[in-house]
Amino acid sequence: MADFQTSTQRAKWIFTPQKLAERYKASNHRAVQLLEKCGTTQVEVDASGSLTYPIEKADAGGDQGDKKLKPLSVDEERFMRAFYEAKVQEVCSAFEFPHKIQATALQYFKRFYLQWSVMQHHPKEIMLTCVYAACKIEENHVSAEEIGKGIKQDHHVILKYEMAVLQSLEFDLIVYAPYRAIEGFVNNMEEFLQAREDEIQKLESLLKAATAEADKVMLTDAPLLFPPGQLALAALRLANGVLGVVDFDRYLENIVSQPNSEHTTSEFIKLLDDIENLVKNYKYPSEKDMKHINRKLKSCLGHSSSHDESKKREKRSKHKSHRSSSDTPKGAPIS
């Protein structure tokens, strides 16, 4: 599928910075409300995609004795996502999946958490499910079992969450990544430079460096804010800033002079600056941050931090006095 212009990504999944901030705030708010009303935020999921919300508790309004549960803030949620987005890249590299799959998994993960708070669905489970779904959709099928085995995680979790994830993605499954566009631009630069042998080699190293830069861009909010072509150009400009292969401003002018260009050079430069700033301001949580956030998250999800994985599951099943909402097909709250 090579038509971003008519894609669901362009129509539905690219936001203004304001809108994106609102979405994050809204999903955080929904979880905060759940916590206030129900004393827990965990939304249970089954393989057929039906969701079970926690039930309201009369005394959940904060009077929990001395241990009042504190929800994650919007920024803490961002850290949590950043941590697991980096994990997506780790897992994909461990399996030596192509960049495209990694990018698809990241997009899925990002889109999922526009609908949900990390307090409602644990990001580890969603991360694994996104990797699995990305492999499947990109026709690079790896069984859930293999993924689970490869990283020593229970693959049943993946199968359990698959439908809920697909549904939260509104079944818009084809996503566009900057990598193809980078290749296209580099080919185009070859013509632009009328490259000789040595320059072609330089362009090859530019391609490699830009791909690495694109990996960084994919970890920011940029994929939800900009079309893949612009992400690609930003990655190329970042890489070219180090390697100095082409006169980038002249190259941009060349692009802008094409008849189908929608932007002026200065507009373009502004867009690329914005993307670059996202990369520069990208924050990855420290170990200390994560410890703190993790503790909070666990208590919100209704597990105490001292329990190991298996006990956690046990405990969760004890908490299963949930209201069934399986008859609401669109489980994701509408924002």
Give contact residues for other proteins (rule: CB under 8 A): 1-3, 6-8, 47-50, 132, 136-137, 139, 141, 143-145, 158-159, 162-163, 166-167, 171-174, 326, 329-330
- From the CB of residue 3, how many other CB atoms can be counted at a distance below 10 Å? 9
In angstroms, the CA 137 to CA 301 distance is 30
Of 133 and 271, which has the nearer Cβ to other proteins?
Answer: 133
By beta-carbon proximity to other proteins, the closer residue of 7 and 240 is 7
Closest to other proteins by CB, 96 vs 171, is 171
* Closest distance to other proteins from the beta carbon of 189 (Å): 19
User: Of 36 and 146, which has the nearer Cβ to other proteins?
Assistant: 146
Q: Nearest approach, Cβ of 137 to other proteins (angstroms)?
A: 6
User: Each residue of 7-43: b (16+ CB within 10 Å) or e?
Assistant: bebeeebbeeeeebeebbeebbebbbebbbbbbbbbb
Contacts of 46 (CB under 8 A, 6+ apart): 52, 160
Are 247 and 190 within 8 A, CB to CB? no
Q: Which helix (H) or strand (E) holds 5?
A: none
Q: Smallest gap, in angstroms, from Cβ of residue 203 to other proteins?
A: 18
Angle value at C-alpha 320, between 78 and 154, nearest 5 degrees: 60
Separation of alpha carbons 231 and 240, rounded Å: 14
DSSP 47: T
Question: Closest distance between other proteins and the C-beta of residue 172, in Å?
Answer: 6
Task: Please tell me the distance from the alpha carbon of residue 323 to that of residue 182, in angstroms, as a whole number.
Answer: 48
Longest dimension (CA), the chain: 75
> Least distance from C-beta 64 to other proteins, angstroms?
35
- Closer to other proteins by CB, 4 or 248: give it: 4
Q: How far is the CB of 7 from other proteins (least distance, A)?
A: 6
Cβ distance to other proteins smaller for residue 49 or 302: 49
Write down the least CB distance from residue 286 to other proteins, Å. 36
Decide whether 124 or 312 has the Cβ nearer to other proteins.
Answer: 124
233: its two tokens? 């150009």
Cross-strand bridge partners of residue 44: 52
Q: How far apart are CA 76 and CA 297, in angstroms?
A: 10
Residues 6 or more apart from 267 whose CB is under 8 A from it? none
Task: Please answer whether residues 103 and 178 qualify as being in contact, where contact means their C-beta atoms are separated by less than 8 angstroms.
Answer: yes
Which residue, 42 or 167, has its beta carbon nearer to other proteins? 167
Smallest separation (angstroms) from other proteins to the CB of 264: 29
Nearer to other proteins, 40 or 211 (CB): 211
- In the complex, the smallest distance separating the C-beta of residue 147 from other proteins, rounded to whole angstroms, is 11
